[in-house]
Amino acid sequence: MATRSRIGYQLKDGSIISVYCHWDGYPQFNGVKLKEHFNTRDAVSELIDGGDISALYTNVGWNNETLPTSGPLYYSERGDRDIEPKLSNSHDEFVKLTDDCTGEYAYLFVNGTWTCYDVSESKYISLYEEVSV
């Protein structure tokens, strides 16, 4: 069973651009990988620009082939459509968008830091605690 999530970053006007991520959305995996590999505005922007994601960090491709490097597995790589990043005008819209895709966690990059919102519990989770577990 998948742990779905949304991953986004906040724009200067407070709006949020984000993508859906199907697998491993829990903080102990996606939270860790976001902090380790997508920790600059440029890296986050590039991640989001690719559109919706099947797996945030994997070395297995669509045909179960081993890829030369680990990274995101985008739905666009298998030809899917309607996978472009979505714009939310507020944090509430971002959380609703996460909930609408049965996402359990909403990751947001703001001012150089990742936050994680647990949608079902309606509360923020400290990624620093989750990473050290």
pLDDT along the chain (133 residues), means of 10: 94 97 97 96 98 97 95 97 97 97 97 96 82 47
Which pLDDT belongs to residue 129? 56
| Full-model pTM | 0.94
Tokens 């179960």, residue located: 64
Which pLDDT belongs to residue 128? 66
Which pLDDT belongs to residue 126? 87
Which pLDDT belongs to residue 133? 44
Which pLDDT belongs to residue 44? 98
The whole domain housing 53 covers 5-132
CA 41 to chain centre: 14
Which residues are 123's β-sheet partners? 118
For 53, other C-beta atoms within 10 Å of its C-beta total 25
User: How far apart are alpha carbons 114 and 50 in whole angstroms?
Assistant: 19
According to DSSP, the β-strands at 5-10 and 105-110 are parallel
**How many folded domains does the chain comprise?**
1
Sign of CA dihedral 4, 54, 94, 10: positive
